[in-house]
Amino acid sequence: MTTSQDIPDQGRPDDDPAELSQWERFGVDTTAPHSARVYDYWLGGKTNFPPDRAMGQAIEEAVPSVKQMAKANRAFQGRAVRHLAREHGIRQFLDLGTGIPTSPNTHEIAEAVSPGTRVVYVDNDPIVLAHARALMVSSPASRTTYIHADLRKPEELFTDPALTATLDLTQPVGLLMIAVLMLIADEDDPWGRVAALRDALPAGSCIALTTPTQDFDPEAVGKVTEAARAGGMTLVPRTHDDVLRFFDGWDLVEPGLSPVLAWRPDGEPPADPKAAYYWGGVAVKR
């Protein structure tokens, strides 16, 4: 088990080469941008390195409000988790594509509604592994586990002993896929993979997902995908119809698949719901 003492100091403005090289023992490549760290940079985190910041800034040139959009996406996650816990009685969550821990994390949000909630975090990036194991500490009453796995292999995920020891797959599960499906290319069949995940869950389970879209500003988002491609990263924005297919056969709760800012906002509705280029939705398996 990794502890916080094992983790090198996080990326700093001077990015000390000795510290960067320490990350190598975790299998982290600090020479190329990575989605988790670019996103961490936008959220104001410290776990990012020069190539991540360079890509983050290149994308920011195309979409100057990209940092606010990342925060809007996180805020959707908070509202969705609270909704699932309060309105659907979800007491166990599977958070796929967890990212670098950013408080409030899923277990913190869910435990505030219902102490004792179980959470399994899943990511396939070694830097997330290092941080999540050390930092995602649940309350004594609850069970929080981290699994290093690939959401494109649901059969391996659902038989992982750490998952089956934490989640009761005969009971409803809240499946979160927040800002992760854009990292799976069409050729990798994200719809087939998500269908396999849906099929593995019992009635009463819910999905909450977000994914970026070009629907609100095709030109700017075209530049984003170009910047990602130039940095060697897959980033596939998707249309409303393409995103709807991820929920196939499950009932979307009101207001349906919406711009994340417009999905059950806390307080006043946003002046411009399309100011964050993400679709977000929540659906239930009947």
Ligand X SMILES: C[S@@+](CC[C@H](N)C(=O)[O-])C[C@H]1O[C@@H](n2cnc3c(N)ncnc32)[C@H](O)[C@@H]1O
List residues binding ligand X (CB under 6 A). Answer: 35-36, 39, 73-74, 77, 96-99, 122-125, 128, 150-152, 178-180, 183
Min. distance of Cβ 97 from ligand X in angstroms?
Answer: 3
Q: What are the φ and ψ backbone dihedral angles of 209, each rounded to 5 degrees?
A: -145, 155
CA 258 from centroid of its chain's CA atoms: 17
Nearer to ligand X, 65 or 171 (CB): 65
Nearer to ligand X, 179 or 282 (CB): 179
Q: Which long-range contacts (CB under 8 A, 24 or more apart) does 223-229 make?
A: 223/61, 223/62, 223/63, 224/59, 224/62, 224/63, 224/66, 227/55, 227/58, 227/59, 227/61, 227/62, 228/55, 228/59
Min. distance of Cβ 150 from ligand X in angstroms?
Answer: 4
* CA 35/CA 16 separation, integer angstroms: 22
Min. distance of Cβ 239 from ligand X in angstroms?
Answer: 19
Nearer to ligand X, 180 or 261 (CB): 180
Nearer to ligand X, 69 or 90 (CB): 69
Q: How far apart are the first and last CA of the chain?
A: 38
Min. distance of Cβ 6 from ligand X in angstroms?
Answer: 19
Nearer to ligand X, 71 or 171 (CB): 71
Min. distance of Cβ 282 from ligand X in angstroms?
Answer: 15
Peptide bond into 255 cis (omega under 30): yes
